[in-house]
Amino acid sequence: MQFLNPIWLWSALGVVIPIAIHLWNQQPGNILEVGSIQFMDPSPSKRSSRLQLTEIWLLLLRCLIILLIALFLSKPIWNSTTQNGTKGWVLLPRASAQTAYQTHQFQIDSLLKMGMELHALESGFPLMDLPTTASLAANDTSQNETDPNYWKLAIQLEQQAPSNHQLHLFTPALLRYYQGNKPSFNRKINWHTYPLVLKLDTAKAVAKQPIRIALYTDQYQQDLSYVVAAFKAIQELKGNSFSWTIVSDPAKIPAADWLFWLSETPAPKGKFAHIVSYQIGSVKPIQSHLYQQNWSGFEP
């Protein structure tokens, strides 16, 4: 039998508390004063004690409860030896293995001492050496280009791991690594999580700055509303970040990455890297379903 949290066995010393309380509550017998005992017949001396049999059982019950709590917190494990002497797999993500080991050191050390193997939580689940894992501390909390989906990896693990092996997974407690709904598993998977703080990549942070957009129009308010609605839809569905400013005075157009010039007058040149404007030519009327008067069945 092994314990995942052996430090909690010290809490078993708490049994002295009910014993001390039990002994403290024992009170001496009451003294009854009488006027005279010369006419009373002598009787053999008897000692009376408040420690009755029922109270002994109550004391034992209290001590047993404390011992069971200490045993439960220490997480004992009874395992039968499987093939090749291996009793199970311990799986850690390579990218945050150092944090996982520091957070659950007692559990991981106990599982490895029992003969379990250390594997990387990635496709194929290769064996991983703990000292090599600890050397990855420099890249421990870096943000990968593609985040793994631990739900899919757990399904693959259930299919590839031997059926008589215990599985202990240690993963970060970040929602980004659990995409989709939680699947149902046909075998028990002991899942442990730990907090993880990601390092901020400066280059990526700069790349994620909102795109600055300037919108100018002098009379085409309907077209302006279409463009703004398009940016809002892209921002909501695709996750792109935009920051737009609507102006009606050409002299007040701020610095921007893109300029949408919704006017028949010539657009300014040399100030903006990207300019979107009307194509010069004749106007062609079209039947658009975006106009409210063409909608059927809807109130304006």
| Cβ within 8 Å of residue 298, ≥6 positions away | 292
Residue 238: strand pairing partners = none
pLDDT attached to residue 134: 44
pLDDT attached to residue 149: 92
Averaged pLDDT, 39-64: 67
236 or 41, higher pLDDT:
236
pLDDT in tens, 7-30: 888 888 888 888 888 777 766 666
pLDDT in tens, 66-112: 989 988 888 777 655 444 455 799 999 988 888 898 888 888 988 88
| Strands 274-277, 258-262: pairing kind | parallel
Q: Average pLDDT, whole number, for the chain?
A: 77
Does residue 140 carry a pLDDT above 80? no
Name the band, by pLDDT with cuts 50, 70 and 90, for residue 130.
confident
Does residue 293 carry a pLDDT above 50? no
Apex 123 CA angle, 120 and 114, nearest 5: 30
Q: Are 216 and 250 in contact (CB under 8 A)?
A: yes
- Report which secondary-structure segment, H or E, holds 275: strand 274-277
Does residue 251 carry a pLDDT above 90? no
Does residue 242 carry a pLDDT above 60? yes
- Report which secondary-structure segment, H or E, holds 223: helix 221-238
